[in-house]
Amino acid sequence: MSDRIDSDAGREEAGRNLPPLRLHVPEPKFRPGDSADFSDFDIPPAGAQARPDETAQPAGMRDLAYGLVRVLDEEGAAVGPWDPKLPPEMLLKMLRNMALTRAFDARMFRAQRQGKTSFYMKSTGEEAVSIGAAAALASDDMCFPSYRQQGILIARGWPIVDMMNQIYSNKGDRLKGRQLPIMYSARDAGFFSISGNLTTQYPQAVGWAMASAARGDTRIAATWCGEGSTAEGDFHSACTFASVYRAPVIMNVVNNQWAISSFSGFAGAEATTFAARAIGYGIAGLRVDGNDALAVYAATRWAADRARANAGPTLIEHFTYRVEGHSTSDDPGAYRSADEASHWPLGDPIARLRKHCIALGIWDEERHAAMDRELAEMVRDAAREAEKNGILGHGLHHPMESMFEDVFEEMPWHLREQQQKMLDEWKAAGL
């Protein structure tokens, strides 16, 4: 009792000379009108990071959570211990899948502007994150993506017409217009239904991975969220479960610097890296150049091998940049410098892999230009095909009354009543 009185008195005494408490409110370095300058970024040269054994203890690899695993150097050469030494056909496949993802994004963005769909989200500048990972995972590993990993579906050969049908919410949409455009779900592609509620996929992925291990299966799970989403509680509970049970899961944080209009500082980037979140949980943490498809591949492969060896989960931060707006509903010109994308020091992921392929003598500018033309035509043809099934506002959607179906095996009386009421009201309104 007397101790408490003493310490209270001491605080009152000291308080007279203390400055008022205040909060630190992060502020991005550049705002509209500023010219962006990233010259103070600490970017280690390609090949500089050590590559520990896949089964190494997390405590021995802390540096990797603060560095940047990079394979492609400025000249387009693949260097250092993380070079995955991929065969030419695989490099070209990854290059093509990244270019296809970009062509798909361009077409669907335009479709939204033309009023054919209500919503779209591009992944421009972040294509290496999903394409590099998809190439490194086994085709039956289970993916729990966020809304910016459409590249995984593309890399797994999912029909782009099917993706477009979902975006158009038309009669060809397997999800019957019940999901926001781009919130795909493709069980056969090992692509879990995307949820708009940020980071819910994290505990789901860890739970799936735990179930896979509990059954003695060999498949692992991988999940993705944005850097802003790491502020969600779900991120942290997922890390705890993954760490405790050494779940066979890869947890990817795509640090594209922005969470709609909030810069990464609001999720903690001023204090430390996102990969360093792993350290507190005793999880292996890798920080990777997310615009280097080979680094993404190598890190994912390392983490997948680790998970398959029962050596535990890995948290990978992909350091990248969101080149376009958050979604078609966003105007980044209102909150960030227009300069940022062009000054981004880690370049463009497609241009970097193209340069590598050209340096290897397996590719050239002419073939690349021809491929871009071919992919644009392919995407245009697919869009025409999908549009035959309907576009926004043209009535070619699943019957409205079907919205009451598929929740219960047998529709309960109150839903049947509501369904009938809706149909009666429409009839009365002459619809």
Ligand X SMILES: Cc1ncc(C[n+]2csc(CCOP(=O)(O)OP(=O)(O)O)c2C)c(N)n1
User: Residues in the site for Mg ion, rule: CB under 5 A?
Assistant: 226-228, 256, 259
Give the distance from CA 317 to its chain's centroid.
11
**Nearest CB to ligand X, comparing residues 26 and 282:** 26
The token duo for 241 is: 């479960």
Closest CB to ligand X among residues 223, 229: 229
Q: Which residues bind ligand X (CB under 6 A)?
A: 148, 196-198, 225-229, 254, 256, 258-260, 322, 326
Torsion sign across C-alpha atoms 279, 281, 284, 286: negative
Tokens read off for 67: 């560095």
Query: Which of Mg ion, ligand X, none is residue 117 near (CB under 5 to 8 Å by kind)?
Result: none
Q: Would you put residue 215 in left (φ > 0), alpha (ψ -120 to 50) or beta?
A: alpha
Q: How far is the CB of 287 from Mg ion (least distance, A)?
A: 15
Give the CB-nearest residue to ligand X. 226
The candidate with the shortest Cα–Cα distance to 346, out of 322, 379, 381, 382, is 322
The residue (of 84 and 228) whose beta carbon lies closer to Mg ion is 228
315 phi and psi angles, rounded to 5 deg: -105, 120
326 binds, among ligand X, Mg ion, none (CB under 5 to 8 A by kind): ligand X
Instruction: Using the minimum distance from each CB to Mg ion, give the nearer residue, 82 or 319.
Output: 319
Of 227 and 340, CB closest to Mg ion: 227
What, of Mg ion, ligand X, none, does residue 197 touch, CB below 5 to 8 Å by kind? ligand X
Q: Considering only CA atoms, which of 304, 297, 299 is closest in space to residue 221?
A: 304
User: What is the nearest approach in angstroms of Mg ion to the Cβ of residue 257?
Assistant: 7
The binder of 229, among Mg ion, ligand X, none, by C-beta within 5 to 8 A per type, is ligand X
Q: 289 is in the binding site of which of Mg ion, ligand X, none (Cβ under 5 to 8 A by kind)? A: none
Which does residue 198 touch among ligand X, Mg ion, none (CB within 5 to 8 A, set by kind)?
Answer: ligand X
CB of 229 to ligand X, least distance (A): 3
Give the whole-angstrom CA distance, residue 355 versus residue 341: 19
Nearer to Mg ion, 45 or 196 (CB): 196
CB of 348 to Mg ion, least distance (A): 18
Distance from C-alpha of 280 to C-alpha of 132, rounded to nearest angstrom: 27
Beta strands in 175-311 (DSSP E): 221-226, 249-255, 258-259, 262-263, 284-289
Instruction: Report helix, strand or coil for 143.
Output: strand
Pairing of strands 221-226, 249-255: parallel
CB of 242 to Mg ion, least distance (A): 21
